[in-house]
Chain A
């Protein structure tokens, strides 16, 4: 909406760009003042929790709804008008930050309560309900994690219910029900409710179609990946290279295993909370580090010998298929030290070269080089 000026010869963009007359939104004027610090603070306060993003989302929902109607239909044209007006209401929302009293978007455009508050005739109510932008489009599930969770739960429950009701017709998924040819009255009603109560709009608008395309591609990719993982022998990794020769007692193992169980429970609950509250990445990292230090302290209280502790945590984590994070969090430095000792302090790394590389990655050539860390560090100290 005027944020970008661009030139392109891309045929897809050219073919799909609509030539519309420029919209001039009538703008109310505020009293002209030379802004003081107080005015800026006031404008900032007014701009908090504004509706600009919400209005943009509603207009996006209208695009999605529009894709479900014929171009010549009254619904399509009404939505076209509302989309254009959307720019005006965005403008109004920005004006509100300047202290101007501006008109909000009519509630009957996006809520059923708004429809019932107006004195519409029965036909008009049906019409307004059809074009009411109350749900976000499907692709927004990739923007709002809560919406994705809600939609997934809705799909899962609807799927279960479809099977519970119609399993005797050979229905095993909701997809089967949609494709079933001779639908009964109950089936039609069920599908009608399913579409009506869906938390997201599933009309074939452009971005929804792109989302489905990506899903289709990645679905097969993920299937391939999981089958590949199944075929690979997961136990083939010899984790003894991470350990030293130190022996440990069974009682220490049991105590550390108890701490490991606490670690998995606490970290899991914390990560769920962090994901739900959308915590800042840095804050999240700091909080996790606090947990790690706390668990490290607890582990070292049980077993103060680093090598012995390392062997215990390696045995706990690498004997199962669960995450190995605990081992690396508690004894990461000891594992690295053991690996270096095992290979005489030598490490190999890819080095970018101009010619004759051993392999190519991202258009650049690399060869493997080795360096002795212990010697290098001794030289440095010397």
Chain B
């Protein structure tokens, strides 16, 4: 999972009450957001994270001990890493030219993806020096290459033989180092979406790819040029829960998509009902006195 703008990601998770793909990573990012952006103390962050898990993670009561340890770990090291806000990576003309010397679309896609990842890691850490640690299935997914993982090693060997990357000296280290990074050249392409890097390269090469009108992900276009949505967004998708604010206390609460009239949170609604009942009883008593 590549997260470019951690601040935005944390805000979105908090707004949508979402745990993301990996709960631990999401909690770490939210903790960093609270620490660096909101300026909260560690004790408060711990409480907020627990509250967040209680409302959004169904098995939290059962796994409370394990998650308490995780939260402790996350909060202890919250100040050791920055909250990254990377808008994207800049690809220069020289780098594109170097990739295009390969004359093989599959290898070019792979080299482009690895270049983007190396630049992303460089942006996160100045001492990274072009190393790419995302390899295997995730790399294949990002590069939009459909082949078995064993075949990936042969593709990497082709890039190594072409002199585009260096391999580590340790025999059990599977990372690679991209050696054609050019930070000073003119910007040719700016990549700000890391979901389909392979398609991003093909789009740059002039192939028929479109951005989904709903989610913005790249997808293959049709011959007529009428396609608008990716396969995930083009079919029926369930409406999610809506967030409303209570008219009495102002706290946000969840409502099912088909509920149109609920305007109070459960606690306020209960109080409101009791008040109404009381009023009704009082009015009844008044009438009896009148009679």
Q: Which residues of A contact B (CB under 8 A)?
A: 153-154, 157-158, 160-168, 190, 193-194, 197, 262, 266, 273, 290-291, 294
Confirm or deny: B157 has a beta carbon within 8 angstroms of a beta carbon on chain A. yes
Q: Give chain B residues whose Cβ lies under 8 Å from the Cβ of A154.
A: 172
Please determine whether B157 and A165 come into contact, CB atoms closer than 8 angstroms: yes
Q: Looking at the complex, which one of B59, B66, B160 makes contact with A165 (CB distance below 8 Å)?
A: B160
Q: Give chain B residues whose Cβ lies under 8 Å from the Cβ of A291.
A: 62
As a 0/1 sequence over residues 169 to 196 of chain B, the CB contacts with chain A under 8 angstroms (1 = contact) are 1111110000000000000000000000
Q: Compute how far the CA of A157 lies from the CA of B153 in the bound complex, rounded to whole angstroms.
A: 11
Q: Compute how far the CA of A160 lies from the CA of B63 in the bound complex, rounded to whole angstroms.
A: 37
Number of A-B contacts (CB under 8 A): 53
Kindly provide the distance from the CB of A273 to the nearest chain B CB, expressed in whole angstroms: 7
Please determine whether A161 and B172 come into contact, CB atoms closer than 8 angstroms: yes
Please determine whether B157 and A161 come into contact, CB atoms closer than 8 angstroms: no
Confirm or deny: B15 has a beta carbon within 8 angstroms of a beta carbon on chain A. no
Interface size bucket, B side? 20 to 34
Please determine whether A197 and B170 come into contact, CB atoms closer than 8 angstroms: yes
As a 0/1 sequence over residues 158 to 173 of chain B, the CB contacts with chain A under 8 angstroms (1 = contact) are 1011000001111111
Please determine whether B172 and A158 come into contact, CB atoms closer than 8 angstroms: yes
Confirm or deny: B246 has a beta carbon within 8 angstroms of a beta carbon on chain A. no
Q: Compute how far the CA of A160 lies from the CA of B156 in the bound complex, rounded to whole angstroms.
A: 10
Confirm or deny: B291 has a beta carbon within 8 angstroms of a beta carbon on chain A. no
Q: Give chain B residues whose Cβ lies under 8 Å from the Cβ of A294.
A: 62
Kindly provide the distance from the CB of B271 to the nearest chain A CB, expressed in whole angstroms: 27
Question: With A262-B58, A262-B59, A273-B66 in contact, do A164 and B156 touch (Cβ < 8 Å)?
Answer: yes
Kindly provide the distance from the CB of A331 to the nearest chain B CB, expressed in whole angstroms: 21
Confirm or deny: B154 has a beta carbon within 8 angstroms of a beta carbon on chain A. yes
Please determine whether A157 and B174 come into contact, CB atoms closer than 8 angstroms: yes
Please determine whether B59 and A266 come into contact, CB atoms closer than 8 angstroms: yes
Q: Compute how far the CA of A157 lies from the CA of B157 in the bound complex, rounded to whole angstroms.
A: 14
Enumerate B129-153 residues with CB–CB distance to A below 8 Å: 150, 153
Q: Compute how far the CA of A153 lies from the CA of B174 in the bound complex, rounded to whole angstroms.
A: 11
Please determine whether B157 and A167 come into contact, CB atoms closer than 8 angstroms: yes
Known pairs A154-B172, A157-B171, A164-B157 / 8 extra A-B pairs, C-beta < 8 Å: A158-B171, A160-B153, A161-B167, A161-B171, A164-B156, A168-B157, A193-B171, A197-B172
Please determine whether B153 and A164 come into contact, CB atoms closer than 8 angstroms: yes
Kindly provide the distance from the CB of A323 to the nearest chain B CB, expressed in whole angstroms: 19
Kindly provide the distance from the CB of B162 to the nearest chain A CB, expressed in whole angstroms: 11
Considering the complex, give the chain B residue whose CB is closest to the CB of A290: B62
| Residue of A157, A161, A193, A273 with most chain B CB atoms under a 10 A cut-off | A161
Q: Compute how far the CA of A168 lies from the CA of B157 in the bound complex, rounded to whole angstroms.
A: 8
Please determine whether A164 and B59 come into contact, CB atoms closer than 8 angstroms: no
Q: Compute how far the CA of A190 lies from the CA of B172 in the bound complex, rounded to whole angstroms.
A: 10
Kindly provide the distance from the CB of A189 to the nearest chain B CB, expressed in whole angstroms: 9
Please determine whether B157 and A163 come into contact, CB atoms closer than 8 angstroms: yes
Q: Give chain A residues whose Cβ lies under 8 Å from the Cβ of B168.
A: 161
